[in-house]
Amino acid sequence: MNTMNEYEWIERYAAGQLSEEERSIFEQKLRDNPQLAAELSTHQVLMDSLKLYGNRSQLKKKLDVFHQEMAKDTTSQGRRLNKYSVQVFWKRHLPTMAVAASVAVITVIGTLFTMDYLRSLENRQISFYKELKRELNSIKVTQRNIASAVPEIQPEVRPVSYSATGFMVASNGYVVTNYHVINGADSVFIESRMDELCRYKVKEVYSDKLSDISILKITDPDFTSTVRVSYGFKIKEADLGEPVYTLGFPREDMVFGEGSISSKTGFEGDTTAYQISIPVNPGNSGGPLLDEKGNLIGMITGKNTAVEGAAFAIKSKYLLSLIDSIPVDSLPEPVLLSGKNYVKDLKRPEQIKQLQSLIFNVKVYHQK
């Protein structure tokens, strides 16, 4: 059912123009598709608002008639108006004016209800989905420790800063994270905490707001690629109930989380994402989602605040599709993706040891 057909079905359903069979089919689609049900509710609210507006227009016309008649009576009778003429006027118009007043009250209440409903509907949609970047205002890292690891960089403490996760997709310095993490950034750095702190400056080379993906390139002159991308890429859809895990930075140290694929669609039926049963927190955005063999099957994007333990990850095939669609002349050098999985035969702890050097704490700084 495309968008135009959806609107046609919604209008016919609301107007009671569907046959028994069509109504049964459409109501089943409403149960299966929450987004379609929300569109129907919005349509019904809009129609009610238009109806109330029509009533208000009719009321205005009636009041105009009243005013004209009152003016006419006043002009013709002048000062000779008496108690009898006033009584005649009220007897003639009181029922109509009472109905008009009732319509006015209902119109005002209905309009307020409609506005409140639409606001609450919008707020619910926004509040149920939470992006997982982490505010850094309360995190205190001494400049002495940073300077000892990277002496030429003297970062200043900035008030509006965020932290999230990113991971390397190509050994020549390409890292991916979420668009919402780096959007509007003044500067972006990535940190790897292995035996010692490694900190590199990166720049955004390509982003897609709709899919919430950003491709970053390490520009730091001290970066030398000595690490191979050891995980594989899985394009085939993961199975429902398949075990998965992630590594990320909801805190300054890397955190492991595991769960399973709980739905093959993401928030509000998004077919480009999975719903997963991994407990995630601010800072997990941009983390890799891996299967038992160490294949990348997705990237963490956010969580549903209305459902306990429900997080979302964009599927890896859409990440790869985005990388393939980047114009070659817009990149400083080609993205050299690994075609082999070097960790598929390792146990989980050994996989993590191989993969953790590819996963970074993304530090985002905004000017005041």
What ranges do the domains of the chain cover?
6-61, 163-365
Say what percent of the chain tops pLDDT 90. Answer: 44
More confident residue, 128 or 3: 128
Please give the backbone phi and psi of residue 127, each rounded to the nearest 5 degrees, phi first: -70, -25
Question: What integer pLDDT is reported at residue 99 of this predicted model?
Answer: 56
Residue 227 zone, left/alpha/beta (φ > 0; ψ -120 to 50; rest): beta
pLDDT at 69 over 70: no
pLDDT at 316 over 80: yes
Q: Taking residues 203-216, what's their average pLDDT?
A: 94
Q: Taking residues 165-180, what's their average pLDDT?
A: 95
Task: Give the CATH class of 163-365.
Answer: mainly beta
CA quadruple 307, 313, 318, 322: dihedral, nearest 10 = 120
pLDDT in tens, 239-293: 999 999 999 999 889 999 999 999 999 988 899 999 999 999 989 999 999 999 9
HEC profile of the chain: CCHHHHHHHHHHHHCCCCCHHHHHHHHHHHHHCHHHHHHHHHHHHHHHHHHHHHHHHHHHHHHHHHHHHHHHHHHHHHHHCCHHHHHHHHHHHHHHHHHHHHHHHHHHHHHHHHHHHHHHHHHHHHHHEEECCEECCCCCCCHHHHHHHCCCCCCCCCCEEEEEEEEEEECCCEEEECHHHHCCCCEEEEEEECCCEEEEEEEEEEEECCCCEEEEEECCCCCCCCCCCCCEECCCCCCCCCEEEEEECCCCCCEEEEEEEEECCCHHHCCCEEEECCCCCCCCCCCEEEECCCEEEEEEEEEECCCCCCEEEEEHHHHHHHHHHCCHHHCCCCCCECCCCCCCCCCHHHHHHHHHHHEEEEEEEECC
> pTM higher than 0.85, yes or no?
no
Question: What integer pLDDT is reported at residue 265 of this predicted model?
Answer: 93
**Could you tell me the pLDDT band of residue 307, with boundaries at 50, 70 and 90?**
confident
**Could you tell me the pLDDT band of residue 127, with boundaries at 50, 70 and 90?**
low
Residue 324 zone, left/alpha/beta (φ > 0; ψ -120 to 50; rest): alpha
Lowest-pLDDT range of 149-158, 254-263, 315-324 = 149-158
Question: What integer pLDDT is reported at residue 355 of this predicted model?
Answer: 95
Question: What integer pLDDT is reported at residue 103 of this predicted model?
Answer: 55
Tokens at 266, concatenated: 């993401």
Cα–Cα distance, 285 to 181 (Å, whole number)? 7
Residue 204 zone, left/alpha/beta (φ > 0; ψ -120 to 50; rest): beta
Question: What integer pLDDT is reported at residue 111 of this predicted model?
Answer: 56
